[in-house]
Structure 1
């Protein structure tokens, strides 16, 4: 579901998240919330005990989506008197490494909302509960295209919460006609950069590594590249280099607030100080609810190849939970028509959920960019390395680190040759 790109994305500790599976030496990366897999329960109203379970979801901290998520929990709790779900709000930047460390230590939340890389990593490490005999995809009407990513080595470990493609968002008070190719895009950004306004926003620093990875995927995909062919790494291939050099060209053009976090430049967008960014639909939602509201337009990403990255998220049950039945009950409830509609309504503009539930006409009117995002979603791919999904977190950090070196003067081809070698080592080491 629904992770809006509005939350800050930074990597608080640079330790590779994959290490958490085999060692618990990440004590320096302490979570904001540390739910434990205990068997605590509380007395019911004369009807036995209430099982207490937690749902880890980065969106609880979002000002627009968080309250709707809480309303979902309240709805479930009111209809399930023997189960009580509460939130486990763990920030996005350290989410994967925090939860995987907790699960590897026998603790952690009961139900977890993952992005694709962390989900694959946890599943391959045996940290999630198999759901093959619990979820009947055909009976539930799950959409096959995204649902295939919930199955790892033939075993289902989760269900789709949502998929959200990226597109070009532009401030209509600054730009009247969006660019349609890369040359126009760069020229538009340069023309808009004046009088305290920047033409574009993008992440460029290691503390923003997870989000910077998402940005890089759009440039690589948009210039015909991919990080692998599904069987072999292609990190240093010609089209990957072409896309990354286009990213560097934007960074070097003097059109971005260099070093700014995503939170900062998105706030600039809401304040009329940023003309464009490539992002997911939550930015448009937050802009519409700003005081005063900011009207954003949406358009296809103006790169040569119309293939974009998407945020694909899954819900899964912890392999360490002491409340497996209660957690699975909540997971299956999330797939009911009523809950699916609540997820869709809570989600950022352009999000699709596990089933084919649709927004009402009134809800669509409140999210006018939905159709534009839907078109972009037809050519969207999860931001993972195909064939190496479970190692994407570790490999992406190596890639981001070397791209930053290229921003500081290293040749991009040389940087990606080194990233390819580092990725091969990560894979060889399991």
Structure 2
């Protein structure tokens, strides 16, 4: 889960999409209604914030009680699927986009209930959110199966002083990154590398989102087709993108994947520890992760360096969904609307919830450096990765990247092997 002060925004245009439907009424209308909210906010401070919001909701809605069910990130999807299979899923679930799509395809979650959320039409719901945040939850028939719980993106976090000390401007293309590599490479008296220009994710949970965005900057797509079931790993654009990553390591001396440890590829840790001048997998929450002396104005967020197709900002997020098996769907959607309306308070969890009014609020601009100048336009163009809920596919892609960057394996043959493995996995 991406966390720590994720606040993002973008300009919005009205969308005229049809297809919202009302859910079945609660089976417990005659008495009290009890709903469970399964979420990733397992930290003590996060649980407290959710508990406080629940108290406020219950005071505003007598007769409805909410149980806070926090689950650690690595256990979230498995716990939900187990309860779903047992016929007792939570009433509100904080779902990643991939699992939300699968649940919708399986008929396991309901369409957004416009009436229960207190809106008068589907357009009112859509217009309340940033397009890039809500569009990932639109079904092929025009209905929506969820609304954003959080929405964020990656930019390049840059130690501007490191570039300035080397007599360099912040690079705007990957060619410029390559040229700057040797000038930002530092070693200690024993010849050990202590500082590089750029960190790259290897075995981290952000690698797939990163690679998808990087490939798009070269005009390619990892997957295509109406159902995103056609891998394109051997296309010229994808091969060029991976070749550029390899070149940044071996030819440009811009990145050393084993800088932090031999196998973790902890790109964020290397940057926060002052071992690199740039990292590419940080959202607005990165502000809260930095420590002296790596704070603004020394460290700033910039667009990713551009490839042949331009600069791309990868987006990611979670959505609120309500299972079909919930006995209190109306109360569940009412609670979703409450959390959405409480967006400014919700930001204390480190999440921007996709709401336009929150994006345009003074609180958002006050909390994030360069909000209007940098973050807002980047969220307006952020692109979410193809939503694969497959550990096997993720492992195949991670193995390919590790071979290319750690072993200097031939790029095209490595991607040929990965293409075949992914095709088998999809079959």
Q: TM-score with structure 1 length normalisation?
A: 0.74
Question: Aligned residue for 1:358?
Answer: 359
1:275 to 271, 274, 277: 277
Matches of 1:222 and 1:66 in 2, distance apart?
38
Verify: 1:376 aligned to 2:363, yes or no: no
Question: Aligned residue for 1:142?
Answer: 128
Q: Deviations over 1:387-422 (max 9, x none)?
A: xx4656653443223333434354222232233333
Verify: 1:314 aligned to 2:334, yes or no: no
Question: Aligned residue for 2:240?
Answer: 242
Q: Deviations over 1:344-402 (max 9, x none)?
A: 56545xx5614444343354133113231222223321111xxxx46566534432233
Structure 1, gaps ≥5 residues long: 8-40, 42-46
Using the TM superposition, give the Cα deviation of residue 74 of structure 1 relative to its aligned residue in structure 2, in angstroms: 4.1
2:225 to 217, 222, 230: 230
2:215 to 195, 214, 220: 220
Contact 2:33 2:331 in 1 (8 A): no
Contact 2:4 2:350 in 1 (8 A): no
Paired residues, number = 374
1:110 to 82, 91, 99: 91
Structure 1 counterpart SS, 2:38: strand
Matches of 1:413 and 1:104 in 2, distance apart?
42
Matches of 1:267 and 1:131 in 2, distance apart?
39
Larger Rg: 2
Contact 1:132 1:156 in 2 (8 A): no
Using the TM superposition, give the Cα deviation of residue 108 of structure 1 relative to its aligned residue in structure 2, in angstroms: 4.4
Verify: 1:55 aligned to 2:45, yes or no: no
Using the TM superposition, give the Cα deviation of residue 62 of structure 1 relative to its aligned residue in structure 2, in angstroms: 9.1
Question: Aligned residue for 1:411?
Answer: 410
Question: Aligned residue for 1:342?
Answer: 345
Q: Which runs of 4+ in 1 moved over 6 A?
A: none
- C-alpha distance 293-420 of structure 1, shift in aligned 2 (>3 A): closer
Matches of 2:47 and 2:159 in 1, distance apart?
25
Contact 2:113 2:330 in 1 (8 A): no
Q: Which has the higher contact order (CA 8 A, sep 6+)?
A: 2
Contact 2:4 2:288 in 1 (8 A): no
Verify: 1:266 aligned to 2:253, yes or no: no
Matches of 2:146 and 2:77 in 1, distance apart?
16
* CA RMSD in angstroms, aligned pairs only: 3.5
Question: Aligned residue for 2:109?
Answer: 128
Matches of 1:413 and 1:216 in 2, distance apart?
16
Contact 2:104 2:145 in 1 (8 A): yes
How do 1:393-404 and structure 2 match up within 5 A? Answer: 394-404=392-402
Using the TM superposition, give the Cα deviation of residue 60 of structure 1 relative to its aligned residue in structure 2, in angstroms: 4.6
Verify: 1:158 aligned to 2:146, yes or no: yes
Question: Aligned residue for 2:24?
Answer: none
Q: TM-score with structure 2 length normalisation?
A: 0.74
Matches of 1:62 and 1:294 in 2, distance apart?
26
- C-alpha distance 76-269 of structure 1, shift in aligned 2 (>3 A): farther
Matches of 2:155 and 2:106 in 1, distance apart?
33
Contact 1:6 1:266 in 2 (8 A): no
Q: Deviations over 1:89-145 (max 9, x none)?
A: 333345444433442343443322222222212222333233356564313333445
Using the TM superposition, give the Cα deviation of residue 235 of structure 1 relative to its aligned residue in structure 2, in angstroms: 2.4
Matches of 1:298 and 1:160 in 2, distance apart?
24
Structure 2, gaps ≥5 residues long: 7-27, 189-193
How do 1:95-106 and structure 2 match up within 5 A? Answer: 95-106=76-87
Contact 1:221 1:307 in 2 (8 A): yes
Using the TM superposition, give the Cα deviation of residue 335 of structure 1 relative to its aligned residue in structure 2, in angstroms: 3.3
Structure 1 counterpart SS, 2:359: coil
Contact 2:50 2:68 in 1 (8 A): no
Using the TM superposition, give the Cα deviation of residue 240 of structure 1 relative to its aligned residue in structure 2, in angstroms: 1.0
- C-alpha distance 114-48 of structure 1, shift in aligned 2 (>3 A): closer
Question: Aligned residue for 1:255?
Answer: 256
Contact 2:322 2:333 in 1 (8 A): yes
Matches of 1:178 and 1:269 in 2, distance apart?
16
Matches of 1:115 and 1:108 in 2, distance apart?
16
